[in-house]
Amino acid sequence: MAFTLPDLPYAFDALEPHIDSRTMEIHHGKHHAAYVAKANAALEGTKFTEMSVDDVCQNLSDVPAAKRTAVRNNAGGHANHSLFWQVLASPTSGGGGEPTGELAIAIASAFGSLEGFKDKFADAAATRFGSGWAWLCVKNGSLVVCSTANQDNPLMASAIGDAAGCGGAPILGLDVWEHAYYLNYQNRRPDYINAFWSVVNWSKVRELFAQAK
């Protein structure tokens, strides 16, 4: 089965004023849709169309060499954006606030405090040169922060090594490509990163943490 563009789990304007409606519309309907179409084109006629996109990323080294770069970029883009939409929520529907439960305990254990985690994650996002992502991952049962370039992600680690960041399982991601924020924030990436905390869907991150552990 070919990949399909997942619906956004909220309206385009749900994340206003932190992430604007027009950005969401273009980001989901044009950028993410293009990754899906190009991943499908690259994988057409291969066994990889039977896998989940996360499994394709984890098995990237098995993809025929001639297709691997296209799959890295576009299956990566599909996987990354599919996670990204899920870990965001409207501030009026549970977005923002603080993590709870075992996730809160694990964050305090790994980073000293929630603020310690936010500083580390924001630093990874701000210092990623050019386009890429910041991640919170579960690795060997613990939480780690890393970042990757372009549409790479930590699931690709066995195929692309250090370029995949920490090699853990991502449970929170932040897109720092300019297409994710430029309409509203122009060159002010730190302002976008700061606004992100107002729309994080911590209950979803908590669920992904429980699955990944």
Note if the bond before 170 is cis, omega within 30 degrees: no
How many C-beta atoms surround the C-beta of residue 201 within 10 A? 23
Closest approach, Cβ 31 to Mn ion, in A, equals 5
Closest approach, Cβ 205 to Mn ion, in A, equals 19
In the bound state with Mn ion, the residue whose beta carbon lies nearer, of 152 and 175, is: 175
Q: How many residues bind Mn ion (CB under 5 A)?
A: 3
In the bound state with Mn ion, the residue whose beta carbon lies nearer, of 20 and 119, is: 20
Q: Which stretch binds Mn ion (CB under 5 A): 96-104, 132-140, 153-161, 178-186?
A: 178-186
Residue 27 to residue 134: CA distance in whole angstroms = 17
- The answer to whether residue 175 forms part of the interface with Mn ion (CB under 5 A) is yes
Closest approach, Cβ 138 to Mn ion, in A, equals 23
In the bound state with Mn ion, the residue whose beta carbon lies nearer, of 19 and 171, is: 19
HEC string of 122-188 equals HHHHHHCCCCEEEEEEEECCEEEEEEEECCCCHHHHHHHHHHHCCCCEEEEEEECCHHHCHHHHCCC
> Which residue lies nearest Mn ion, judged by its C-beta?
175
Q: Which stretch binds Mn ion (CB under 5 A): 2-10, 106-114, 131-139, 171-179?
A: 171-179
Residues 6+ apart with CB under 8 A from 101: 206
Show contacts with Mn ion in window 125-164 (CB under 5 A): none
Residue 140 to residue 143: CA distance in whole angstroms = 8
Binding site for Mn ion (CB under 5 A): 175, 177, 180
